[in-house]
Amino acid sequence: MKKSLLLLILIAVFTVESSYSQELKKLSEAKTLSASKIVEHSFNPLPYSYDALEKAIDSETMNIHYNKHFRGYYDNFLKAIENSELQSMTLIEIFGNVSKYSTAVRNNAGGYYNHDLFWQIMSPDGGGQPKGELAKAIDKTFGTFDAFKEKFENAAATRFGSGWAWLAIDNQGKLFISSTPNQDNPLMDLAEQQGTPILGLDVWEHAYYLRYQNMRKSYIGNFWQVVNWDEVAKRFEEATSK
Ligand code: MN
């Protein structure tokens, strides 16, 4: 009797311990995309099925966006840095000096990183509102969650041509909303407002045109239904604990 109880306790402890270390592993893997050397990167799988975000993004758009556009940026980025010292650098290092490199590096490194972030900060279980420290920081900076949404939507809607809208953290730990053209992002040395992005919305026509045609505002409005606030909060904590 005593022995089997001990065995049960051991199994319970081991199970808790191993799921805890798996969580830690996941966290450190997520952290390393921008902070690991490019030679250690591989093409990341989409974290859900193509039709998982139907509330906001249709399956055909997800399929083309992930397999053609994202894949294209990834492949062309690797091609652009072939046999160069950039292979042993991190995305953070490359973005920090991106003005010194070719347009191909700028566009494709940006396209690679931006889309990877975009896939991660969405989820079929997304939507609702942020919690905890992130919610407090949003209220402190923008007044209310609705005021934040309005400002973010405005940044996304008024980006002329192709680009991105961002929620990011500056080097003082303060949140800001910005928009960048093409595949630029706030980590780049040439960005008007520099910081670490924690939420990004792709407003290129390829991201929404099949379902929404010219109605970018409807696409932006539906985006909130799939935002993975837990992932955004995780990125917020990582960026503010640096
Ligand atoms: Mn895109």
Residue 43 C-alpha to ligand 1 middle, in angstroms?
Answer: 16
* Distant-in-sequence, close-in-space partners of 126: CB < 8 Å, separation ≥ 6: 225, 226, 227, 228, 229
- pLDDT tens-digit readout, 90-131: 999 999 999 999 999 999 999 999 999 999 999 999 999 999
Q: 66 pLDDT exceeds 80?
A: yes
Tens-digit pLDDT profile for residues 172-219 = 999 999 999 999 999 999 999 999 999 999 999 999 999 999 999 999
163 Cα–ligand 1 center, Å: 9
For residues 6 and 87, which has the higher predicted lDDT (pLDDT)?
A: 87
Asked if the model's pLDDT at residue 32 lies above 90, the reply is: no
**What are the tokens at 22?**
């798996």
In the chain, the percentage of residues whose pLDDT exceeds 70 is 86
Query: Ligand 1 centroid vs 183 CA: distance in angstroms?
Result: 8
Q: Residue 6: pLDDT band by 50, 70, 90 thresholds? A: low
**How far away, in angstroms, is 53 Cα from ligand 1 center?**
15
Taking the centre of ligand 1 as the mean of its atom positions, its distance from the CA of residue 118, in whole angstroms, is: 9
Determine phi and psi for 75, rounding to 5 degrees: -60, -45
3-state secondary structure of 43: coil
pLDDT at res. 21: 47
What distance in angstroms lies between residue 116's CA and the mean position of ligand 1's atoms? Answer: 10
**How confident is the model over 223-228, as a mean pLDDT?**
98
Cα–ligand 1 centroid distance for 119 (angstroms): 10
Question: 71, 17 in Cβ contact below 8 A?
Answer: no
Give all domains of the chain, ordered by start, each with its CATH number: 58-242 (3.55.40.20)
Distance from C-alpha of 112 to C-alpha of 106, rounded to nearest angstrom: 10
For residues 47 and 123, is the Cβ–Cβ distance under 8 A? Answer: yes
- pLDDT score for 17: 47
As a whole number, the mean pLDDT across the chain is 91
Residue 11 Cα to ligand 1 midpoint, Å, equals 46
pLDDT of amino acid 3? 63
